[in-house]
Every structure is written in C-alpha cells, then in structure tokens.
Structure 1
Amino acid sequence: MLPTTSKPTTPRCSAFRTVSATHRWRLHPRTGINTSTPLGPRPPKPTWDSWPQAPARRRISGVAIARALALLTLALAAAATAPPRAVPFVEPASDPAAARTLVQAMQAPRKVSYMGRLSTIAWGSSGTQAVEIEIDHRAPNATRKWYIAPSSVYGNYVIEHGTTSYVYDLRAQSVTISHYPSADEDDLTEDANFGLLTTNYRAVPGADDEIAGRKAHTLSLINRYSGVRLQRIWIDAQTSLLLAKERYHANGSVAYTSRYQEITYRDVPQALFSTATPEGFTVKQGRDFGTPSHDLERVLSQADFSATGPRYLPEGFALVSGDVTTIRGVRSLHLLYTDGLRSLSLFENVARNGGANFSGMQTHEARVGGHDATYVEDEPNLLLAWREQSLNFTLVGDLPLRELERIATSVAP
C-alpha cells in the first residue's frame, strides 16, 4: 500500500512543527511558512509541548546540504533552529502510477547492485563544475566511488558502509573516517520523506526515454505552491533505479544534472569495499555528526546555549531532524528543514571565532535584519552567514538569496 498523507492540525504556535525523520550527510567530491501572527518574546527554552508533531512519516535524506558543508568548513558547525509552520493540506499525487514509480525509485538502491559511470555538472555564477565518477554499489548499503575527473581529484575514492564514510586522498596519502557524513548521490532514495514530497510536489509523467542504453520512465516534480518544476528524473523501467536527474532554478534554467553514461546490474564483489588503510597512508578522524534525531527536546537539552530559529519558512517546509556534536571542543546544534525535495539547514553557535569560514570562496555582502552578512554560492546551494547578539548563524539551502534573507531576518535571538 502506498504511503498516504493526512491533513495536519494547525498548531497553536505555528512556528514549531516537526516531522519524524533522520538525515545522513553527502560528501562533497572536492573534499573527499509564512506566519501571519508574530510569536512575541521567545521563551527562555522551548519545551517539547511547544513543538507539535506531525503524523509520523518516512525519513528524508539530506539533498545536497553536506556538499555545501564540506566546502563551508564551519569553524565549528553549530546549530540550533526552531520552527516552521504547518504544511497546508493538499491532495496527494493525482497519478497513482507516478506515486508507485516514486516509491520504487526510493527503494531501489537497497535492492539492486550495480556498476556504472556517473557524470554530474553544476552551473553557477562562479562557473561550471563537472565531475566524473565510477560507482560500484552492493545492495543494500555498500558503495565505492572512484573519481576520474577533474584532474584535481583523479584517483581519489570513497567507501561508504551505511552511515560510515572512508575518504581516500591519494595526494595527501590519507584516509578520513567520518560518521553520518553522507547520503546517496540521488535525492530520491529510501530515506526520502514520501509524505512531504507528495504533499508539496506533483509527480507528472512524461515520455519514456533512454539512458545508458536502458529504457527509462520520466517524471517531473512540480511544486504545488509555485507551479514551478524543480526537478526532472529518469527511472529505470526495469529496476526502478534513478538513472538521471535535472535540477532547475526558479526561472527554469538548469542548475544541476547527473546522468549515468554506463550502468551494469550485477553482483559486485565484496572485496571492492575493503576499508584497509594503504601502506604509507595516515588515518584521520573526520566529522562525526551527532546521530540525527526527531526527539528535539533531547537535542536542545544537549546544547550549551539557548536555541532560536526562524519564525518564517517557505510554504511546505517542515522541521524533520536535529543533531548535536562537538567540533573543536565546541558544542554544536543543527536542525534540518525540508519540503520533501529541497533542504534547509540553520547552524548556530556561541563561540567567539565560530563563524563560517569561506576561505577560498567568492564572498558577497548581504544584510540580515540590519546586520552585515556574507553569502557564497555553491550550486545548487547558497550559504548565508551573520552574527547577532553573540550568536553565529549560518543558513544553507537551495533557495534564492531573497528567500534566505527573509528566513534569516526572522531568526531573532
């Protein structure tokens, strides 16, 4: 039976809303809503009673946020968020066949093993970034990614076993081990939140196509509020694996593409996923993000400062998980919001030198509630950072700058 959605009850405090979910980070290849009623004064510490919970739904993966985080190298990633508004009720996907296709695509990586060559291209203001990866996947959760282009990362490879990632850097002769750093390359995986996805997006079937010599069904995911097509996906007609996707800007231009040039379904040898340390390599401890949780009362209690969050979020976004971790001796809190396809993260900390480190990236000036702010573009994400009342904030999301500024302005300590 297909997952269904139910009409959520509008909470008394519409700034807080959660969805049961977990989140895993994606590795960046270069490093291995509207609330019409003001909330009034923020209480000293939100309690679980003030965070109304939506009906339990399936988990969601991180949709490109980690890619930004790896570049970001937050001097310490900290984050405390708070609130979104309840998602308005709309009818689920009108085409049952399209809904079934989505479900099957989410489940496919855990059911099929394969070997393939994946090409990705991202277009941004700073230029075009193209990456070529050879991928070996052994169901349900072992993956090996070998980078063959560009030359700056050639030969580097990543081994993923569930939520543990091993990044092998040939030039540095090092292997970095991280926990909860990555998610599958594709947005639509078994971790995707089907309830939010079908509530906020219409899946519209298109003409069948061919990708890497395989017949593929096509679906366009259209936002129900804006009417804009955010993504188009190609799904293997036989195995349901996601073979290609295109992500679009609000104006319809292509922001990002990924496509398998070759793919073979076969039993992949276990030996390919060995995590043995090569001779002469050093082992480094990477970022161990806290285990994502929807128990926000517990998450908030683990932070050593009073958390705050946005009083405005775009239509359809909901708070899905939080995690706490210690980076460089500083307690960090992060909460993740999503509309089922796009993700939004707010990070905050109280460390004196805990602001975002944008070294090596082209920065731009911005304003957030009368405060100076800085943002950078890392397609498809924007990263916006500012400081207010001794708190450092960083907002990461696949949204237009004006929308991020509006969200950031609503974050008042």
Structure 2
Amino acid sequence: MAINLILICFWRLIMALFKTSLQKSLLIFLLAILLWMPLKLNAGMPKAQSLLQDMLLATKQLSYEGRVTIMVQTPMRNMVFELMITRKAPDKRRVEIISPIEMAGSGVIVNGKEISPLPPNKDRKEQGKFMPPFSQPDQMDELQNYNVQQLLKNYKIRVLEGGFVAGRDTYLLEIEPKITDRPSRKIWIDKEKKIALKVEQYNAQKVLQRLVTFSRIAFMTDIDDEIFRIQRGFFDMKWRPKPTEREELWDQLQGELDVKKINEKAKFKVRILNNLSGGLALQSITMVKFDKGQNVHLIYTDGLTFVSLFQSPFDETKRERRPPEGPPSREPFKERHEGPPPGSPPGPPMQPDKPEKMKISGVNCDVLQRGPAFIFRWYKEGVYFTLIGDYTKKEMVKIVESIIK
C-alpha cells in the first residue's frame, strides 16, 4: 500500500512538471519505450532449463581441442594455470599443462575408466615431482554432474547476452541461490554449440574463488586415438600412491534405493537420508577403500554444489588397540608409506592441523577448514562420520544437525 501511494505521488509530481499535453505525451511514450526494451531483448532468450539441458548434452557429445586458463584463489595466493585440453566424445580426454613452466608437459590422460598421469617434458627431469593441482582431469567436468531439477528448485537463474568468449558468441547464465550463504555461478554458454566456454565460481560472500575460461577452441570430429594412449612405466615408482578402490552402489538414475542391499554390502548399518538441510538431495552412494578402511561415500547436491558424507564402522572403545584401518596421515614421505598411526579413524585423511572442537546436537565434533571447504567429523553409535562441503560454517552445522537427529 505504501509503495502504491509513493508511485501515485511521484506520477502526479511528474505530470505537474510537464504542463502541455505534448510534453505529457512524449513522457508517456519514452516511459513505454523504456519498459518495452528489456522485454523485447529477453523475448528471444532461451529458457534456462532448456539451455542447461542442452549444455549437459553438449558436454558429453562434442569433441574439441582448446586452450584453457584456470585461476584458483587460495588462502596464500592466487594460482594461474594454462592448459591444453583435447576431448574426444564420449569418454576420452587429454589435459596438458602449458604453464607455469616448472609444470609444463605434466598432465593427465583419461581413456574411458582408465586415468594416467602424463610424464613431464624430457628436458626437465625434476618435473616428475609435480602433479596437476586440480582434482578433476578437466575443470569443466563438474558441469556434467549438475542436477537441473534441483538447480531450478534451489537457485534463481537469469539468461542474458554474454558477449564473446574465445571468439564465439555466448549466452550468460547467472545462477544465484535462493538460500543465503550459498555459492553462486556465472556460466557463459556457446550459442551455437551449447558448450560452456567460461565459468566463474563465487563463494557465499560473492568473492571469486575460481575462474575457468577458454582462450581458443576448435571443434573437430577426427581426433587421433593415439594421443589418448595410457602411459605406462614412467609413474610406476615406489612413491606413486595406489589408486583408491571404488564400487558404485547406487545413483539417482537407478530409481528406488535398496537400503538393505547397501547395508549388506557395507557390512554395517549406513545412515541414509534422502534429503538434508537446505535442499540437498541424495545423488549417489559409492563404496570407497582408503588403505584398509572401508567407507561408504554418499554425495548430496542442491543442483549446483555438492556435499560428501563418508561413513565407516568404528569402535571407539578399541581405538588405541585396533589395527591401522584409516588412510595414510599427511606426514612426511617416509612416514606416509610406513602406514597410518595406530588408532587412526577411518574416512578421508585427517589433516595435521589441530581441529576445532564443537558440540552439535549433543555430539562432539572435530571441525577443520580447507580453503572454502569445511570438514566435520564425529562418532555416533559405532559409525564414524566425515562431512565435507563448500558451504559456510553455519550452513554446515545445520547439515550436521539434520544427519545426527
């Protein structure tokens, strides 16, 4: 009501300033043009849902070669990398580091389910100790995991003109959370090919955390399979870590979840919730083995971001006497290969930093922060829990509460 009164008073003031009928007519005409132009500009824009679905499809179907710049913000400094990425649909990728120079030539090859590091340039023998500082072979891969329905449920999405990226015309998707204290994204999508050419990732405070952008890209259909041949021998050294053993137990595409089957596989009662606080829905369940410790890994998503929940059987009363089961500690090289200290908890590695102690819903928790991510650990009813997510501490506490209750 108050807003309506203000608008009426403002309109009467404007009309009083413009005395003649001609002036009033011109004013009304200009206002109509100003209101009409944004509607006209947005009329030709595709719907966010169809654009996202086209992007997910293109990410899996297109073959190309391109040069990519990655900027990652860390607590100490910003890191910038130049990569050459070659993809051959549906499941072959080669990622090679161009700069920084001390890492040039290193990278990774993905051929189906096989993943192998690339050896460094032959004229730089010391490069063998450097590995790509990113967890995914291709930073654009995370786009394949977006859940469109969850995304539309939990985020507001605007489709705008994006200008040119790598010489190609784009749409810009601005993805803002409906819930406060959540990360946001900006994605530039190729108008013709529908592939993402640039992604900006912001934390809950709207600070840019990561930038991934193509500086050039060439789409092609005939790419030699030889460049995706898995390298053998170079990294078969004593210090190379053994690959993590994984077994997929369920994902959202398989329909109804068989909890009894999951528990039989895990050999303990897994706490499975279909939904967590803040619109997070269960996406997949995987059995993961860290060293001798068996873990069940549940991934939850709000459509854009992900939360990992690890669960392992753990007898707190026998902690000091039990054989090592947990993962290797983050100690110096020699100790890392002699095995974890007795009594190490199962689950992803506990960092050497002293954790913060918290009590949540009556349960004692250890809390660590790694960059934008928080790690919460607790023990309850014979199960050791590890929760990892890129949300604020306040949001993570709410999620822990929804699991404990």
TM-score (norm. length: structure 2): 0.68
Contact 2:49–2:148 (CA under 8 A) maintained in structure 1: no
1:293-304 map, 5 Å:
293-294=250-251, 295-297=257-259, 298-304=261-267
1:122 partnered with 2:76: no
* Alignment partner of 1:340 is 2:333: no
**Cα deviation per residue 1:339-384 (whole Å; 9 max; x = unaligned)?**
1111011112225412543447x665241425251312234x3333
Alignment partner, residue 244 of structure 2: 287
Distance 2:158 2:181 in 1: 12
1:235 partnered with 2:226: no
Trace 1:142-181 onto structure 2 (pairs within 5 A): 142-150=92-100, 153-168=103-118, 170=120
The farther-off stretch of 262-271 and 125-134 is 125-134
CA distance in 2, matches of 1:368, 1:240: 47
Structure 2: which amino acid aligns with 1:404? Answer: M
Choose between structure 1 and 2: higher helix proportion. Answer: 2
Change in CA separation of 1:372 and 1:279 when aligned onto 2, cut-off 3 Å: closer
Q: Which residue of 1 aligns with 2:269?
A: 306
Count of aligned residue pairs for this structure pair = 313
Cα distance in 1 for partners of 2:102, 2:387 equals 28
Does residue 63 of structure 2 align to residue 113 of structure 1?
Answer: yes
Shift of 1:113: 1.1
CA distance in structure 1 between the aligned counterparts of 2:213 and 2:64, rounded to whole angstroms: 15
Q: Which amino acid aligns with 2:205?
A: N
Alpha-carbon spacing, 1:213–1:278, altered in 2? closer, same or farther (3 Å):
farther
CA distance change for structure 1 residues 117 and 364 in 2, over 3 Å: closer, same or farther?
Answer: farther
Alpha-carbon separation, structure 1, partners of 2:174 and 2:82: 25
- 1:105 is displaced (CA, Å) by 0.8
C-alpha spacing 1:248/1:143, structure 2 compared with 1 (3 Å) = same
Contact 1:319–1:337 at 8 Å: present in 2 too?
yes
Cα distance between partner residues in 2 of 1:310 and 1:191? 20
Cα-to-partner distance string for 1:177-204 (whole Å, 9 max, x where unaligned): xxxx957522664443222122222321
- Distance change >3 Å, CA 151–CA 307, structure 1 → 2: farther
Q: Superposition pairs for residues 35-50 of structure 1, below 5 Å?
A: none
Partner of 2:369: 376
Distance 1:189 1:162, change over 3 A: farther
**Distance in 2 between the 1:160 and 1:391 partners?**
35
Amino acid at match of 1:158: V
Identify the residue that residue 272 of structure 1 maps to in structure 2: 227
Give runs of aligned pairs for residues 12-411 of structure 1, distance below 5 A: 97-150=47-100, 153-168=103-118, 170=120, 185-186=139-140, 189-226=143-180, 230-266=184-220, 267-278=222-233, 281-282=236-237, 285-294=242-251, 295-297=257-259, 298-308=261-271, 313-349=276-312, 350=314, 351=325, 352-355=343-346, 356-359=348-351, 365-369=356-360, 371-379=364-372, 381-388=373-380, 391-411=383-403
Structure number with greater CO (CA < 8 Å, separation at least 6) is 1
Moved more, 156-165 or 290-299: 290-299
- Alignment partners' CA distance in 2, 1:228 and 1:265: 35
Q: Displacement, 1:160? A: 1.1
Give the superposition deviation at 1:232. 0.6
Question: Cα distance, 1:114 vs. partner?
Answer: 1.0
Q: Relative to structure 1, is the Cα distance of residues 261 and 279 closer, same or farther in structure 2, using a 3 angstrom cutoff?
A: same
Instruction: Determine the C-alpha separation between the residues in 2 that align with 1:402 and 1:214.
Output: 41
Which letter does structure 2 place at the counterpart of 1:214? R
Give the 3 Å change call, closer, same or farther, for CA 396–258 of structure 1 in structure 2. Answer: same
Deviations 1:66-96 (A, max 9, x none): xxxxxxxxxxxxxxxxxxxxxxxxxxxxx85
Check the 8 A contact 2:365/2:377 in 1, yes or no: no
| Runs of 4+ residues deviating >6 angstroms | none
User: Matched residues in 2 for 1:311 and 1:275: separation?
Assistant: 38
Rate the CA distance shift 1:345–1:190 in 2: closer, same or farther, 3 A. closer
Give the Å deviation of 1:128: 2.4
Whole-Å separation in 2 of the counterparts to 1:163 and 1:324: 17
> Contact 1:113–1:138 (CA<8 Å) still a contact in 2?
yes
Q: Secondary structure at the match of 1:320?
A: strand
Gaps of 5+ in 1: 1-94
**How much does 1:143 deviate?**
0.4
Quick one: structure 1 residues 128 and 292, their matched pair in 2 at CA, closer, same or farther if it must change by over 3 Å? farther
Larger radius of gyration: 2
Stretches of structure 2 lacking an aligned partner (at least 5 in a row): 1-44, 121-125, 252-256, 315-324, 326-342
